[in-house]
Amino acid sequence: MVSFQPSTDLSTSAVLTFENMRPYYAHYGVDWQQATIYEQISGLDNWDILIQGEVVGAIRMAMENGDGYLRDLQVNAAFQNRGVGAKALDEAARIAKERGAAHLKLRVFKISPAFHLYTREGFTLVKEDDRFYYMKKEL
């Protein structure tokens, strides 16, 4: 069973992001280190994704201009393609809606297979640039 809790260990969470995102950073020539990731996520609303009490992922959010922004969704590779991401998106939408958001917005690397998850879960493409798709979902 998937559950969620406020993050208790941002350092470990930053390692997960670094490991999951390494291929994208390499592809686009982004030189990020774990310390940079930790610095970036420390100012966000961080949630752990748990399966049977084990942390298997992270949700990172912010509120801006009346909308919720999903800044990061990470799922440990061993738990991907099992519906965990879809449940995490439902939780992110619930949190954003609870805080008064009209939309949940995100950006995703164009080369990321997560784009298909977001599309299946009702996100629509708003714009794109050379690296990212920008998407939103009505809440």
Inter-residue contact 77 to 20 (CB < 8 Å): yes
Per residue of the chain (139 residues), give pLDDT as tens: 999 999 989 999 898 998 888 888 888 888 777 778 888 899 999 999 999 999 999 999 999 999 999 999 999 999 999 999 999 999 999 999 999 999 999 999 999 999 999 999 999 999 999 999 999 999 9
pTM for this predicted structure: 0.91
Residue 113 CA, chain-centre distance (Å), reads 13
The domain 2-138 having CATH identifier 3.40.630.30: the answer here is: yes
- At which residue do the structure tokens 């949940």 appear? 104
Q: How far apart are CA 1 and CA 124, in angstroms?
A: 28
Residue 35: the pLDDT is 77
What residue ranges do the domains of the chain occupy? 2-138
Alpha helices in the chain (DSSP H): 10-28, 34-41, 84-98, 114-120
List residues bridging with 132 in a β-sheet. 109
Q: Report which DSSP code applies to 33.
A: -
